[in-house]
């Protein structure tokens, strides 16, 4: 057999369209290009006014106690309506001048009791702003609380992180609880362990705690603390007071908030952030210096330990997360382009078709990112057929589409949603994340039964809330109720809770099984109370071998706290208490809460998951990690998608219809110079490689060959396999998941050398190309048609379009020049299969 690489090199590289579609920029790469600079719009950027941001919601700034402080934030309003942070550009004066101190970061600390007026002056414009500060208790030496004031310092300094003393085994003999969620244990380790050698109340400055932290004594973690700093003096005073733990009834933090919460900032600008905590007694305290900060993308924005955020030379949006005492808050910055080019209609947006377009276009206008033009009809038909039906359009569909009326795109969406291929495609998606995997080498009844239950539900367009209810409350045997197969596949109570939360709520609460979630508010108590909903699920053997029956036994649902052993009753996330009678199934109460229209998680989780399926990138990545510290790129859009889904009574087809019929979905994948770097805002369609199953089926379609799967009828498509354990080297190489977890991240959509080599010169692909009765053999043997319509057939089958003149000319020449007609057609088909235009859904 003639090696394909040597005989077809000219054909591949002589016709660019066989190797790429549009431009190379359409295929996501690891490196990002720098956008060309554009002229700044001629707008008035003079300063109109100054104001102090109200960080606590009170008329005055209150400082209570000598350890209190407050971060000042001064905002300038420009004449063009934009806001800018002037905190470090203004000059501050105080009247009287001896009541408070303001440092170089604009942090106010108390000196003496009383009121003081702070005035911010802008020397350029002459504008001023004033704020009143009230100081009380500045001379009172209050007792320092270990859990309330010292533990947050360990978190701030990184001492109790997972890479230091907070890891499971501790570090160098000293252990702290991860991120300080067990202060009693931390107090024991620090004060009493090791014969009290770590703290020295009689001479705090000589304590091992401070000597290590300042690196005066060799410390594996290096210097974490500066002598003379606020944190140093706080630890020193705590030890001087006799290392008190606290009374135990001190108010606890119930929430934190950032100021500002969101702002549009220009590239290379900065923004000072402030964090205030609300306590259980209703008091409010500035904790800016005690909070821990993290940027969602350090290449776009960097943040200092004091909350000072510096933007890089970039365009898009970025989030800054703040954590304090188990609570989290987020600041979001939108970074627009310097200007919106008006060339080639770049600033024109089509009329929105629905709420999706309204919010996508609104975000792009805010960022001054232009929208790529509409894709052509052939591209749209191929795109939407792959996304909905998991296959390529047939030649007949492509031909019919061209002759349809003006609403042909909407009509195509409707036809595809009504087709059985839609159910096959999405059944595979749900089958995988629901862990429908076999336990032996042979396909089992339980796998087939569950797959058919999922697929039949999609065919009848079963409402999503009903689908989830039937799954989570399933009882009986697999034969009588196939949904119960999930309980066989996920036999552990903790796994059931974690999978249900991740799949249907977008909450990864696995961390809270062992400790407080490091990036969320979920505690071990939250975890245990959710687990209580599954605590009564049990199974018993039936007369039929290997077919247990699952049910929820009568009793009081509860779960034990893993540390205290306390018996906890069921409660939904966010502490929503659910009352369950002894004769009721607690799982039904869980689903009642989950599918309620007011649930903040259920609709958003599905909307985000399906948005990624169609648009290539979720609004929140990963798609099943919707925590507050992982905000969506377009919060308004996610809210709108969720609302549309809930209002449709959880109609999955309705959501798909809204996405696919939007103008946003119809964008070309070709980038403009101004939106080349956009990866989060959907200014163009983001190409995505076809999944392993769809790609294998597509190759079979083009070559007119079949792939046989053991135990299944001939002609069974890869997209219709009832589980992911059928032996196929192709599917493995191209990233088929193994259904070991509930995460879609198991599926790999990346490209690698092994995949390229397999497509280029593997025995499997060569056999498909040269099979007797295949397309190449059929076209070569067909003497009733000229070569041109045969080439057109190939292009319609592979790309859903006609070949352009250069492609047609080059291909016809190759067919004419090669004596062996069958090999010539094999060469052409081989070149089409190895093109990016074929491999990617674009």
Furthest-apart CA pair in the chain: how many Å? 103
For 783, left (φ over 0), alpha (ψ -120 to 50), or beta?
Answer: alpha
Indicate the residue among 136, 166, 191 that finishes a domain. Answer: 136
Residue 179 included in any domain: yes
- The per-residue b/e assignment along 699-729, b for 16 or more CB within 10 angstroms, e otherwise, is bbbbbbbbbebeeeeeebbbbbbbbbbbebe
Whole-Å CA distances, 788 to 10, 791, 793, 808: 19, 5, 9, 8
Q: Are residues 65 and 209 in the same domain?
A: no
Residue carrying the six token digits 């004033």: 130
Please state the domain count of the chain: 4
Q: Are residues 116 and 187 in the same domain?
A: no
Strands (E), 17-68: 47-52, 61-64
Beta bridge partners of 76: 50, 84
Which structural domain range is residue 556 located in? 442-594
Cα 299 from chain centroid (whole Å): 18
Whole-Å CA distances, 408 to 171, 401, 421, 572, 799: 65, 7, 19, 45, 18
Whole-Å CA distances, 330 to 84, 257, 291: 19, 8, 12
Check if the beta carbon of residue 331 is closer than 8 Å to that of residue 320.
yes
Dihedral pair phi/psi, residue 659, rounded to 5°: -70, -50
Beta bridge partners of 308: 272
CB half-sphere exposure, 656, CA atoms < 13 A: 22
Check if the beta carbon of residue 307 is closer than 8 Å to that of residue 288.
yes
Residue 348 included in any domain: no
Indicate the residue among 537, 560, 594 that finishes a domain. Answer: 594
Residue 306 included in any domain: yes
Count Cβ atoms within 10 A of the Cβ of residue 266 and give its class: 0-12 exposed, 13-18 middle, 19 or more buried.
middle
Torsion of CA 550, 554, 559, 565, to 10 degrees: -130
Alpha carbon distance 257, 331 (integer Å): 9
Least Cα distance to 235 among 107, 112, 170, 145 occurs for: 145
Residue 779 included in any domain: no
The whole-number pLDDT of residue 547 equals: 82
Which DSSP helix (H) or strand (E) runs through 239? helix 230-240
Alpha carbon distance 55, 74 (integer Å): 11
CATH number of the CATH domain containing 302 = 2.60.40.1080
Dihedral pair phi/psi, residue 821, rounded to 5°: -65, -40
Whole-Å CA distances, 692 to 361, 740, 750: 33, 17, 11
Residue 469 included in any domain: yes
Indicate the residue among 193, 214, 240 that finishes a domain. Answer: 240
Give the pTM: 0.86
Q: Are residues 116 and 192 in the same domain?
A: no
Neighbours of 38 (CB within 10 A): 15
Q: Are residues 169 and 287 in the same domain?
A: no
Alpha carbon distance 765, 760 (integer Å): 8
Neighbours of 763 (CB within 10 A): 9
Check if the beta carbon of residue 11 is closer than 8 Å to that of residue 827.
yes
Q: Are residues 88 and 153 in the same domain?
A: no
The whole-number pLDDT of residue 818 equals: 92
Q: Are residues 262 and 172 in the same domain?
A: no
- What is the DSSP code string of 249-303? ----EEEEEEESSEEE--TT-EEE-EEEEEETTS-EEE-TTTSEEEES-TTTEEE
CATH number of the CATH domain containing 102 = 2.60.40.10
Strands (E), 125-193: 128-136
In this structure, are strands 262-264 and 327-335 parallel, antiparallel, or unpaired?
Answer: parallel
Beta bridge partners of 64: 136
Q: Are residues 465 and 570 in the same domain?
A: yes
Q: What is the 3-state secondary structure (H, E, C) of 59-70?
A: CCEEEECCCCCE
Q: Are residues 62 and 124 in the same domain?
A: yes
Q: Are residues 117 and 185 in the same domain?
A: no
Q: Are residues 507 and 557 in the same domain?
A: yes
Residue 213 included in any domain: yes
Tell me which DSSP letter residue 102 carries: E
pLDDT mean by block of 10 residues, the chain; 842 residues: 46 42 36 34 69 84 89 92 92 93 93 94 92 90 85 84 79 82 85 80 88 85 84 88 85 91 91 94 91 91 94 90 89 85 57 96 92 95 97 93 85 96 96 88 85 96 97 92 92 91 92 73 84 88 77 84 84 82 89 94 96 96 89 94 97 98 96 89 95 96 94 91 91 91 88 91 94 94 94 96 95 94 95 95 95
The whole-number pLDDT of residue 733 equals: 93
Q: Are residues 202 and 123 in the same domain?
A: no
Check if the beta carbon of residue 405 is closer than 8 Å to that of residue 716.
no
Least Cα distance to 191 among 141, 249, 244, 250 occurs for: 244
Residue carrying the six token digits 């002056």: 121
Helix extents (H) in 15-160: 16-19, 151-157
Q: Are residues 448 and 585 in the same domain?
A: yes
Neighbours of 158 (CB within 10 A): 16
Torsion of CA 611, 617, 618, 619, to 10 degrees: -110
Beta bridge partners of 270: 310
Q: What is the 3-state secondary structure (H, E, C) of 676-732?
A: CCCCCCCCCCCCEECCHHHHHHHHHHHHCCCCCCCCCCCCCCHHHCCCCCCCCHHHH
CB-based contacts of 101, cutoff 8 Å, min separation 6:
108, 109, 110, 111
Residue 16 included in any domain: no
Neighbours of 94 (CB within 10 A): 17
Cis peptide leading into 622, omega within 30 of 0? yes
Cα 111 from chain centroid (whole Å): 46
Residue 159 included in any domain: yes
Long-range contacts of 54-59 (CB under 8 A, 24+ apart): 54/259, 55/259, 55/274, 55/276, 55/286, 56/276, 56/284, 56/286, 57/284, 58/284, 59/132
């Amino acid at each position: 057999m003639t090696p394909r690489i040597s005989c077809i090199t000219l054909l591949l590289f002589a016709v660019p369209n066989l190797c790429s579609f549009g431009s190379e920029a359409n295929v996501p790469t690891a490196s990002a290009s720098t956008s060309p600079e554009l002229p700044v719009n001629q707008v008035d950027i003079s300063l109109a006014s100054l104001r102090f941001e109200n960080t606590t919601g009170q008329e005055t700034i209150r400082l209570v106690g000598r350890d209190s402080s407050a971060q000042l934030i001064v905002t300038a309003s420009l004449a063009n309506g934009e806001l800018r942070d002037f905190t470090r550009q203004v000059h501050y004066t105080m009247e009287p001048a001896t009541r408070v101190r303001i440092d170089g970061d604009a942090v106010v600390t108390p000196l003496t009791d009383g009121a003081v007026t702070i005035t911010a002056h802008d020397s350029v414009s002459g504008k001023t702003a004033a704020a009143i500060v009230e100081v009380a208790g500045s001379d009172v030496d209050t007792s320092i609380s270990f859990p309330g004031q010292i533990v947050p310092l360990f978190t701030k300094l990184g001492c109790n992180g997972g890479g230091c003393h907070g890891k499971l085994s501790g570090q160098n003999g000293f252990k702290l609880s991860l991120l300080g969620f067990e202060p009693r244990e931390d107090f024991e380790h620090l004060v009493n362990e090791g014969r009290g050698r770590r703290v020295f109340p009689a001479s705090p400055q000589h304590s091992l705690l401070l000597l290590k932290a300042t690196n005066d004594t060799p410390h594996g973690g290096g210097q974490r603390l500066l002598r003379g700093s606020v944190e140093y003096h706080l630890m020193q005073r705590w030890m001087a007071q006799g290392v008190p733990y606290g009374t135990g009834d001190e108010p606890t933090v119930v929430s934190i908030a950032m100021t500002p919460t969101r702002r549009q900032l220009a590239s290379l600008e900065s923004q000072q952030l402030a964090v205030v905590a609300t306590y259980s007694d209703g008091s409010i305290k500035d904790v800016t210096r005690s909070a821990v900060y993290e940027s969602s993308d350090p290449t776009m924005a960097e943040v200092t330990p004091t909350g000072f955020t510096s933007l890089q030379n970039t365009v898009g949006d970025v989030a800054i997360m703040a954590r304090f005492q188990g609570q989290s808050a987020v600041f979001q910055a939108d970074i627009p382009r310097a200007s919106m080019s008006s060339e080639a209609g770049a600033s024109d947006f089509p009329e929105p078709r629905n709420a999706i377009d309204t919010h996508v276009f609104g975000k792009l206008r805010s960022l001054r990112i232009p929208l790529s033009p509409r894709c052509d009809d052939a591209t749209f038909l191929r795109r939407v057929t792959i996304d909905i039906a998991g296959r390529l359009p047939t030649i007949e569909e492509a031909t019919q589409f061209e002759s349809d009326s003006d609403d042909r795109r909407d009509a195509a969406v409707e036809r595809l949603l009504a087709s059985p291929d839609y159910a096959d495609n999405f059944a595979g998606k749900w089958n995988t994340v629901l862990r429908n995997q076999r336990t032996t080498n042979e396909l089992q009844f339980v796998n087939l039964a569950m797959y058919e239950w999922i697929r039949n539900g999609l065919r009848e367009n079963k409402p999503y809330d009903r689908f989830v209810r039937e799954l989570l409350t399933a009882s009986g045997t697999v034969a009588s109720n196939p949904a119960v197969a999930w309980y066989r596949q996920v036999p552990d109570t903790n796994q059931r809770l974690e999978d249900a939360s991740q799949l249907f709520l977008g909450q990864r609460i696995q961390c809270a099984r062992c400790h407080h979630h490091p990036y969320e508010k979920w505690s071990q108590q939250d975890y245990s109370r959710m687990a209580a909903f599954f605590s009564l699920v049990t199974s018993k053997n039936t007369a039929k071998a290997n077919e247990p029956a699952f049910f929820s036994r009568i009793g009081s649902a509860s779960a034990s706290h893993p540390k205290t052993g306390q018996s906890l009753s069921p409660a939904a996330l966010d502490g929503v208490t659910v009352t369950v009678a002894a004769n009721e199934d607690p799982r039904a109460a869980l689903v009642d809460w989950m599918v309620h229209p007011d649930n903040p998680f259920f609709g958003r989780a599905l909307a985000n998951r399906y948005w990624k399926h169609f648009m290539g990138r979720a609004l929140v990545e990963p798609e099943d990690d919707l925590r507050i510290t992982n905000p969506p790129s377009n919060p308004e859009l996610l809210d709108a998608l969720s609302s549309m889904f809930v209002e449709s009574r959880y109609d999955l087809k309705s959501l798909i219809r809204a996405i696919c019929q939007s103008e946003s979905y119809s964008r070309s994948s070709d980038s403009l110079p101004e939106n080349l770097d956009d990866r989060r805002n959907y200014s163009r369609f983001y190409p995505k490689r076809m999944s392993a199953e769809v790609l294998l089926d597509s190759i079979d379609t083009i070559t007119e060959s079949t792939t046989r799967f053991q135990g299944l009828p001939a002609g069974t498509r890869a997209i219709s396999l009832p589980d992911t354990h059928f032996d196929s080297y192709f599917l493995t190489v191209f990233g088929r998941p193994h259904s070991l977890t509930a995460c879609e991240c198991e599926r790999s959509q990346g490209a690698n050398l092994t995949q390229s080599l397999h497509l280029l010169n593997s025995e499997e692909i060569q056999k498909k190309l040269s099979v007797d009765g295949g397309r190449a053999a059929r076209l070569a043997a067909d003497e009733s048609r000229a070569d041109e319509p045969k080439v057109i057939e190939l292009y319609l089958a592979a790309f859903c379009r006609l070949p352009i003149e250069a492609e047609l000319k080059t291909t016809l020449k190759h067919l004419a020049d090669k004596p062996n007609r069958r090999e010539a057609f094999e060469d052409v088909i081989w070149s089409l299969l190895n093109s990016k235009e074929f491999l990617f859904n674009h």
